[in-house]
Amino acid sequence: MLTEFIVETVMIYAVIGVLFAAAFAWRGVAVVDPVARHATRGFRLLVAPGAALLWPLLMVRWWRAAARDAGDAAEVPGDRTERWQPASERLRSRALLAWIVLAPLVALVLLVAIRSRAERLPETRDAGRLPEPAVERSARP
Amino acid sequence: MSVSYQAVQWNAAKKAYDRRLALAIAVYLGGFVLAATAAFEVSPIVLVMRAFGTGAVLLLVLILSIGPLARCTPRMAPLLYNRRHLGVTMFLMALVHALLATVWYHGFGVLDPLTSILSSSTPFEGAAQFPFQPLGLAALVILFAMAATSHDFWLRNLSPRVWKALHLCVYLAFALIVAHVAFGSLQDAIWSGYAWMTAAGTAWIVGIHLAAGVKEFRVDRRARALAADGWVRVGEVGEIEEGRAKAVKLGPARTVAVFRHARGFSAISGVCAHQGGPLAEGRIVDGCVTCPWHGYQYLAESGQSPPPFTERIPTYELRIEGRTIFVSPTPNAPGTPVPPCAAGEGGAA
């Protein structure tokens, strides 16, 4: 029941995302970011998957950008540099923290898996655990 | 580095890089299928599925090795330069693996494929029955988010902080993939070397990242002690080669790159405005400081990209006392010109 609800929600999100991405790649991208006004078709195609994924965020950005005066200058990356440097270095120190947390978890997973494999080795056969494909199953008498 | 967006900013070096990458992948996939066909009696589609799966894992191990190793040897710089293409290629290989597995194992049942993957019909009695496929699916979603937002458009529009945080999720994806492999194919593989290869690859990635992180932490701690009395000692004049730089930490959140060039010494932020690349590991090319990650360029005296580009990074004041270089701990506004400090001056520039 829960699984079906999750799957249905994901499917609805994805369908809206795909429709939005087509509109965003065609018109919205240049409204949100003026640098993209003369962008190539290849660029618009590359942006589409991300737009399908992040459509709620981009929908808000598009709406805000459209409401803004046309003469407003867009922020250039250089203006963000001062924020970039401390953020970048802080994230680097958080990466160490992430590995300190992940390292024992990953080690535990591997130990449990290798031990489990050793215990059931006599009964192991290649491709034995996954259900056999329906095509082959239906072909059997 | 561009004033407008393009699909892919190819140049001769990147094209050569991508050709080699495509050739290496073709050789690996062909070699895997040929070798596995001789060794196992498994259907061709399963072999192709495994070839793409193992190829994606190997590529991920390579990608995650590049960052820490590039801090130890400049030989890794060419791989670092085009890591984004490696990442997108790895996602595409993982996607092919996932599509083949979904069609083969879940494509012809009563349930729709996604529901079938997420609902485990096998009673959970131990590690061997752990539902490993949702782990792989979760990793694939993360890899998709990263590949879909890899273009500079997303870096600019999501903000560097959010973009970088999103792309650090690759560590979580790696952990999920290890669990996917450990509870999945590892349980059924007859060849015991497969288990040891998985363990060795995981230990390698975890080990080099912990080692690199601890090294950074020690440098940060030492920098805080140095910065306590105002201007910070960079080192002796002779320590920096022509066209190269020395990195100096001014605290846990600031790195300065002190470059030696034809006109003397200049100090700029050590973090590239593009993706936060380590500028001190770059070099002077065509009179400009060049980032080792993606080739973004800055003038050493002003921290500005050469026209028509608009990127700007902070600059720092330098002074040379005797043969020792000192840097001011206070950054100038991005793009502020600072006259270079010559070695023979012996005083403040």
Same domain? For A116 and A55 the reply is no
Distance, CA of B207 to CA of B211 (rounded, Å): 6
Q: Identify whether residues A117 and A62 lie together within a single domain.
A: no
Residue A16 sits in the same domain as residue A60: yes
Measure the CA angle with vertex A85, ends A76 and B69; round to 5°: 115
Angle A55-67/A41-53 helices, nearest 10 degrees? Answer: 120
Cis peptide, bond prior to residue B308, ω within 30 of zero: yes
Nearest neighbour of B190 by CB, restricted to A35, A95, A124: A124
Domain that holds residue A49: 1-69
User: Closest Cα of chain B to A126: distance in Å?
Assistant: 5
A22 touches chain B (CB under 8 A): no
CA–CA gap between residue A76 and residue A70 (Å, rounded)? 16
Task: Judge whether B150 and B84 are in contact, CB under 8 Å.
Answer: yes
Asked if residue A46 and residue A109 are part of one domain, the reply reads no
The shortest C-alpha distance from B172 to chain A (Å) reads 8
Of B2, B3, B21, B185, give the one whose Cα is nearest residue B89. Answer: B21
Q: Same structural domain for residues A61 and A96?
A: no
Confidence of residue A134 (pLDDT cuts 50, 70, 90): very low
Mean pLDDT score, B78-101: 90
pLDDT digits (tens, 9 = 90+) for B102-137: 999 888 878 888 888 888 656 667 777 788 999 999
Integer Cα distance of A135 and B5 in angstroms = 46
In a domain, A41, yes or no: yes
In a domain, A96, yes or no: yes
Confidence tier at B10 by pLDDT (50, 70, 90): confident
Is A118 within a domain? yes
The candidate with the shortest Cα–Cα distance to B279, out of B239, B310, B311, B317, is: B311
Among the listed residues B147, B169, B133, the one whose alpha carbon sits nearest the alpha carbon of residue B49: B133
| Inter-chain CB proximity B187 and A124 less than 8 Å | yes
Residues A52, A115, single domain; the answer is no
The yes/no answer to whether this complex scores an ipTM above 0.85 is: no
Instruction: Clarify whether residues A65 and A2 are in a common domain.
Output: yes
The DSSP secondary structure of B88-138, one letter per residue, reads HHHHHHHHHHHHHHHHHHHTTSSS-HHHHHHS--S---SGGGS-HHHHHHH
Q: Is residue A107 situated within a structural domain?
A: yes
In a domain, A141, yes or no: no
The angle subtended at Cα B137 by Cα B132 and Cα B143, nearest 5°, is: 130
Residues 46-85 of A with CB under 8 A from B: 46-47, 49-50, 52-54, 61, 76-85
CB contact under 8 A, A35 and B145: no
Cα–Cα distance, B129 to A40 (Å, whole number)? 49
Q: What is residue B72's three-state secondary structure?
A: coil
Residues A113, A119: Cα–Cα separation, whole Å: 10
Structural domain count of chain A: 2
The CA distance from B203 to A114, in Å, is 14
Task: Let me know if residue A64 belongs to a domain.
Answer: yes
Each residue of A78-105: pLDDT tens digit?
445 555 555 666 666 678 888 899 999 9
Based on the domain organization, do A105 and A63 belong to the same domain? no
Sort out which chain B residues have CB atoms less than 8 A from A109's CB and list them.
175, 178-179, 182-183
A44 & A108 share domain: no
CA B339, CA B173: separation in Å to the nearest integer?
A: 46
A81, B312: Cβ pair inside 8 Å? yes
* Fold entry, domain B232-327: Rieske Iron-sulfur Protein (2.102.10)
Chain B 50-109, residues with CB within 8 Å of chain A CB atoms: 104-105, 107-109
- Domains of chain B, residue spans: 12-218, 232-327
Whether B240 shows a pLDDT value over 60: the answer reads yes
**CA–CA dist B317, B339 (Å, integer):** 9
Instruction: Write the pLDDT tens digit of every residue in B167-212.
Output: 889 999 999 999 999 988 888 777 777 888 889 999 999 999 888 8
Tokens linked to B58: 């190997």
Nearest CA in chain B to A100: B210
Q: What is the model's pLDDT at position B252?
A: 61
Q: Determine, yes or no, domain membership for A2.
A: yes
**Does residue A16 belong to any structural domain of this protein?**
yes
Residue A65 and residue A4 share a domain: yes
Looking at the fold, whether A53 and A112 belong to one and the same domain comes out as no
